[in-house]
Structure 1
Amino acid sequence: MKIAVIGTGYVGLVSGTCFSEFGHSVTCVDKDPRKIDALNQNVMPIYEPGLDVMVAKNRSARRLHFTTDLKAAMAEAEAVFIAVGTPSRRGDGQADLQYVFAAVEEAAAYIQDYTVVVTKSTVPVGTGAKINDILAARLDKSLFDVASNPEFLREGAAIEDFMRPNRVVCGADTDRAQAVLKELYRPLFLNETPVLFTSRETAEVIKYAANAFLATKISFINEMADLCEKVGADVQEVAKGIGLDSRIGGKFLHAGPGYGGSCFPKDTRALVSTADEHKVPMRIVRSVVEVNEERKRAMADKIIRACGGSVDGKRIAILGLTFKPNTDDMRESPSLDIIPALQAAGASIAAHDPKGMDEARELLENMEFCDDPYEAMKGADALVILTEWNQYRALDVGRMKDLLKAPVMVDLRNIYGRADLAGEGFKYVGVGRCPE
């Protein structure tokens, strides 16, 4: 099949590349000529393990193309995926759909034969109906259908999630649109991947409900962590104890500094906003949002307490800036709240991240960016682990002690423990473990 993908951000680039790996002919379109030029030279705009190799392979096979020419991309396309950004709108937290609607209006001008217009971007329920109205005002209804095909890609594992998903959700209201989507995902049908066909509105809600539920698990275990610290329990053992219950499951039960990234923060806010518009109470999800915002602020206070109640004039070494490992994404990362709070309290910051420092330099000011983790530790009054990159899981404890001015580790991801630092005189502070 021939596919056009509008948008070469995270979702569009990964989805388009993986569809080409399925054997389809894919053209990805973006308005930014510099991004397209870079992609045509196999330079990726994001860091995602394995993506550059897959792009090169499918470009070489002439299944994957990048262009700024939407008209050419849509020529003979049987499906066009809308994969542009839907950032939080200022004021109400709702998803900003201006880029989605603009893409649909531009695409409408080039639809000549039957085409399925598919939203891959995360959009509030009812967006598909609005897209249908936009197209119906410009085209004969026999020329198009509108479908919803939400993505469930984890940054750092996106290719695996697309190629071997635990499910695919397709919101399509006509047999004709369903037939196109079935053909697009035919390789997954052959692998017996569950493919769920629903109405457009149901598919739109599924995406938000899934992210809100996962965010709820994170905020829940973070609140349990606070209780564990007060009563002398260990949140990691609590998480294991409840996660072994198949009704609960162990994933997303890792206590830490709060969730970030491109999905959970904006999607939970958008879901609350949608519920407000329809006068439906959304008390649980609203609380999840509030708990997460408070969590980031509380982590700065935790670091300050570990440093004796003040960081004024102290140097703090930070390991990890991105919201999670295996990505360069800084969007809504806890580091964007924690580091400025420490600086406001008088601390100087030296930081390292394996992939996120270029982006971090644009977002964080008046701090030192270091080439390796040990450089950041030199002369520091405390070491803080903010992101659980594998590079930080086997640090040389003796070398750390020699470099640090004071042997203090604040491990906000619980990748170490007191036993790991035994005999070196470290003060170790984890999350949701025995009292500090």
Structure 2
Amino acid sequence: MKNVSVIGIGKIGLCFALSLEKAGYNVVGCDVRKNYVNELNLKKIRTVEPGVEELLSNSKNFLATTEIDLAVKHAKTLFVIVATFSEPDGKYDVSYVDSVVSSLKGLGIQSERRHLVICSNVNPGYSDSVADRLKENNWDVSFNPETIAQGTILKNQSEPDCVYIGADSEELAHELREIYSNLCANKPSIHVMNRISAELTKISLNCFLTCKISFANMVGDLALELGAEPGQVLRAVGSDSRINNKFFNYGFGWGGPCFPRDTRAYIKVAKDNNIDYEMCRSANDSNRRHLEYQIQEFLLSGKKEYHTDSVTYKRGSYILEGSQQLGLALGLARNGVDVYIAESDVVIKELKALYGDLFIYEKRDSNN
């Protein structure tokens, strides 16, 4: 049984650590939150992410710790999955990753070569800077981004469409290929490149998807104005293999914790490198205008009530961040429409804390 460590075992990191354990690895997870670590080791954690509690309960070779030196001693390969939030200018705040790197440097020169794999969202060029900082301490550094969505994290990690590996040697790439061959239930395409290419690939992927979704909704809005049927138009256009129908439907705009952040990061990186094109900014503008169009269309219909059973950014999740569904509900309620929301208890509690009695709340059917 091979050893692996995961530094940062929050929502995504814990899923990855438990998926590795299920795949046959002996895993140490490291986190700074002492009470959280204790609860993990007692298997008392409660989470809304599907499948996590069951994996934790069934795990036999997973240990959580607050001691980073224990994580380093445990394994030659360590994955870093800590939070990187957006700064006001759009760049990723990599201070938590920096803190991990500083802790690793503080442990001195390693007697054996070790491999640090950065999975957090970072700005292109950042992983190279980490490699420079840790080189003298006998560390190799790779970049291997997560391509997941909240609510389906375990499925996304075990059945990814593709895997991006940013490594500066075939030996390091082979090591990660082997891990994914054990981890994945499918056979994803694996793309090996240098670190900065992998970093750019991650934000480019999500930025393209925001542009595609925005375009589909623009076509749909125009179709309605012309008296055409949005679904028929988009299905026909998407049937061309150069386009395809994934993420090409008429409906709500894009949101959530990933798409907006990666799009802002891409805009900032492009601007800093004098590739200040309008496309990604236009996707932002189109997303906003589409929401405004949805609000106005409903108001013009004269309807006095609006009923919805989901206001999270994605059905099945509990995340309100960047939710266009919530944006529509807010826009209607603030214009005098009675908005009825049938959601989970968790979401309703958060909505009440944020918006009080702006909405009319209904308990969601347990079968939905």
Amino acid at match of 2:106: A
Amino acid at match of 1:168: V
SS of match in other structure, 1:288:
helix
- d(CA) in 1 for partners of 2:50 and 2:66? 25
Cα gap change, 1:57 to 1:152, in 2 (>3 Å): same
Amino acid at match of 1:82: V
**What's 2:150 paired with?**
155
Cα gap change, 1:367 to 1:259, in 2 (>3 Å): same
**What's 1:326 paired with?**
316
- d(CA) in 2 for partners of 1:235 and 1:38? 49
% identical aligned pairs: 27
Cα gap change, 1:231 to 1:348, in 2 (>3 Å): closer
Maintained 8 Å contact 1:75/1:110: no
**What's 1:207 paired with?**
202
TM-score, normalised relative to structure 2: 0.89
- d(CA) in 1 for partners of 2:65 and 2:3? 15
- Cα offsets for 1:288-343 (capped at 9, x unmatched): 122113333333333322335xxxxx665442121011211222112443344334
Structure 1: stretches of 5+ with no match in the other structure: 309-313, 375-388, 392-436
Which structure has the larger Rg? 1
Matched, 1:367 2:358: yes
List, as ranges, runs of 4+ consecutive aligned residues in structure 1 with deviation greater than 6 Å: none
- d(CA) in 1 for partners of 2:289 and 2:36? 37
**What's 1:357 paired with?**
348
- d(CA) in 1 for partners of 2:44 and 2:323? 24
Matching of residues 161-180 of structure 1 within 5 Å: 161-180=156-175
TM-score, normalised relative to structure 1: 0.76
Maintained 8 Å contact 2:256/2:321: yes
Count of matched residue pairs: 364
Cα gap change, 1:188 to 1:228, in 2 (>3 Å): same
- Cα offsets for 1:231-270 (capped at 9, x unmatched): 1111111222122222211110122221111110110111
Structure 2: stretches of 5+ with no match in the other structure: none
- d(CA) in 2 for partners of 1:45 and 1:88? 27
Deviation of 1:122 after TM superposition, in Å, equals 1.4
Matched, 1:227 2:191: no
- d(CA) in 2 for partners of 1:152 and 1:351? 30
Superposition RMSD in Å: 2.6
Deviation of 1:345 after TM superposition, in Å, equals 2.7
- d(CA) in 1 for partners of 2:85 and 2:350? 18
Deviation of 1:190 after TM superposition, in Å, equals 9.7
Matching of residues 87-166 of structure 1 within 5 Å: 87-90=85-88, 92-110=89-107, 112=110, 113-136=112-135, 139-140=136-137, 143-166=138-161
Matching of residues 244-259 of structure 1 within 5 Å: 244-259=239-254
Deviation of 1:349 after TM superposition, in Å, equals 4.3
Deviation of 1:347 after TM superposition, in Å, equals 4.7
- Cα offsets for 1:163-212 (capped at 9, x unmatched): 12222111100234224323322326896542221111111111111111
- Cα offsets for 1:93-125 (capped at 9, x unmatched): 221211221222123334633221111111121
- Cα offsets for 1:341-385 (capped at 9, x unmatched): 3343345544222353344444434335635248xxxxxxxxxxx
